[in-house]
Amino acid sequence: MVKFIVSLLILVIVALGAVLLVREDPGFLLLRYRDYSVETTLAFALVALIVTVIVLYYALRFLRGIWRLPRTVRHQSQNRRHARARRQLNMGLIDLAEGRFEKAEVQLMRLVDHSDSPLVHYLAAARAAQLQGKHDARDNYLKDAHEANPDAELAIGVTQAELQLAHQQTEQALATLTHLHSIAPRHDYVTMLLARAYHDLKDWQALVEILPEVRRKKLFKEARLKEIEQAAYRGILDQFRDDQQGFEQAWSKIPKALQSDAVMMRYYLDLMARHGWYSSKAEQLFLKSLDNQWDDDLIESYGRFEAKDANVQLARAEKWLDDFGHNENLLLALGRIAMRARLWGKAQGYFEASIGARATPAACLALAELFEHQLQQPDKAAQYYQQGLKLSLERNS
């Protein structure tokens, strides 16, 4: 409407300009064709020409509108359906977020054929189906999503892998993620999900291979990443639990920063103690780690670690008494080392001091075994067995 008014004003201005231009000399125009002729002033002819052009212009526009009317009606109808589909999508997403999964699925699929973004409908419907336990329907929606938009293979695959992991279909998720990683090897989220799948499947070797990339890109929070790294390298060490040479080689391949980690060091010492293995490198690494930061669990593990010379080990550990003389873990470790040195009286003193500092089931058990096997005092052994059992039950209650 505004455009029409502007055009009309321009016409009036042009007409007035023409009239003023020819006011003093209106001129003369003669048009003749065969036996017909038309005589008029130039001013009138100009106005008539302008009016004729305008009339023809709007007449042509009117005829074009009539010609395009069916297509216009179709477009308007299609736009209305698209608008309804968008409303259904919004309602479905709201229902999905609010936990009305069955209703969300219905809303999302109601007008999906008329939507201008069917991919979103199918992916959201797949999540809604998953949350209802309808895994066949979920897979069908993902298939439909791929057919609707084959170029969105990565987005569809990531959604599929997420849902498979959530349903603990870890092997299927691994297959999906392996394919995605082959087509998008630098995709951070795919790499993160792949690390999660390897972790859940306990495929430690595969996990270790991608951990440097995971750490470099900081794909997990530091605390979670450290847990994953510890689990992966512990799994690698477990594969060589009966082969000391392979065990040592596996340990040497662990990143230096992780070797000095108290959790890894404790695991390393515990495995060596369990098999009665000795390594001077392990002992030096332990001492270096403990110099950097005291760790109660680590010193307790050191008490079970069989050094080459128990007396030298005991003398070294007793130097820590000046700083940690009332630490029950250090006292327990000293008692165990004294046991290996066959110093029964000293072992008894350390065990009793550990229990005095804070009674633990481990210290009670160690003292009970000392009384039973070395000191031949079954009554006292029974007393500490009973005390240790009571403490253990209290902790588990």
pLDDT of residue 113: 80
Please determine, for residue 308, whether its predicted confidence score (pLDDT) is greater than 90. no
What are φ and ψ of residue 120, in 5° steps? Answer: -65, -40
pLDDT tens across 347-359, in order? 999 999 999 999 9
How many Å apart are CA 34 and CA 283, to the nearest integer? 123
* Overall number of domains in the chain: 2
- 3-class SS shares of the chain: helix, strand, coil, % to 5: 80, 5, 20
Mean pLDDT of the region 73-95:
72
Please determine, for residue 248, whether its predicted confidence score (pLDDT) is greater than 70. yes
pLDDT of residue 12: 66
What are φ and ψ of residue 31, in 5° steps? Answer: -120, 130
- Domain assignment present for 110: no
In this structure, what CATH number is given to the domain that contains residue 366? Answer: 1.25.40.10
CB half-sphere exposure, 349, CA atoms < 13 A: 6
Ranges 174-178, 237-241, 341-345, 369-373: which has the least confidence: 237-241
Q: 3-class SS at 319?
A: coil
- Domain assignment present for 362: yes
The candidate with the shortest Cα–Cα distance to 180, out of 165, 167, 166, 168, is 165
How many Å apart are CA 143 and CA 135, to the nearest integer? 12
- Domain assignment present for 29: yes
Q: Annotate 373-389 with b (16+ C-beta within 10 A) or e (fewer).
A: eebeeeeebeebbebbe
Please determine, for residue 2, whether its predicted confidence score (pLDDT) is greater than 70. no
Domain that includes residue 359, residue range: 309-397
Q: What is the DSSP string of 89-106?
A: HHHHHHHHHTT-HHHHHH
What are φ and ψ of residue 362, in 5° steps? Answer: -65, -45
Retrieve residue 289's tokens: 């780690």
- Domain assignment present for 28: yes
The residues, any chain, with a CB within 8 Å of residue 190's CB and separated by 6 or more, are: 154, 158, 161, 177, 180, 181, 184
Retrieve residue 362's tokens: 């481990």
Mean pLDDT of the region 363-383:
93
Mean pLDDT of the region 73-98:
73
How many Å apart are CA 397 and CA 395, to the nearest integer? 6
- Domain assignment present for 186: no
pLDDT tens across 164-217, in order? 999 899 999 999 999 999 999 999 999 999 999 999 999 999 999 999 999 999
Give the domain-ending residue among 18, 49, 67: 67
Q: What is the DSSP string of 333-384?
A: HHHHHHHHTT-HHHHHHHHHHHHHH---HHHHHHHHHIIIIIS--HHHHHHH
Mean pLDDT of the region 384-393:
91
Instruction: Tell me which DSSP letter residue 36 carries.
Output: E
Which residues share a beta bridge with 37? 32
Whole-number CA gyration radius for the chain: 43
Q: What is the pLDDT confidence band of residue 7, given thresholds at 50, 70 and 90?
A: low
Give the domain-ending residue among 67, 91, 116: 67
Give the domain-ending residue among 67, 94, 122: 67
How many Å apart are CA 274 and CA 276, to the nearest integer? 6
Residue 222: in which H helix or E strand, if any?
A: helix 222-238
Please determine, for residue 19, whether its predicted confidence score (pLDDT) is greater than 70. no
Contact 180, 154 (CB under 8 A): yes
- Position with higher pLDDT, 35 vs 214: 214
E strand segments, the chain: 29-33, 36-40
Please determine, for residue 161, whether its predicted confidence score (pLDDT) is greater than 90. yes
Query: What torsion, rounded to 10 degrees, do the Cα atoms 338, 339, 343, 348 define?
Result: 90
- Domain assignment present for 209: no
Mean pLDDT of the region 326-345:
93
The alpha carbon of 11 is separated from its chain's Cα centroid by a whole number of angstroms, namely: 66
Contact 66, 73 (CB under 8 A): no
pLDDT of residue 70: 65
Mean pLDDT of the region 151-155:
91
**CB count, 10 Å around CB of 120?**
21
Q: Quick check: pTM over 0.75?
A: no
- Domain assignment present for 323: yes
Instruction: Tell me which DSSP letter residue 113 carries.
Output: G
- Domain assignment present for 346: yes
Instruction: Tell me which DSSP letter residue 112 carries.
Output: G
Query: What does the angle CA 129 – CA 130 – CA 136 come to, to the nearest 5 degrees?
Result: 75
Contact 278, 307 (CB under 8 A): yes
pLDDT of residue 296: 85
Please determine, for residue 20, whether its predicted confidence score (pLDDT) is greater than 70. no
How many Å apart are CA 341 and CA 337, to the nearest integer? 6
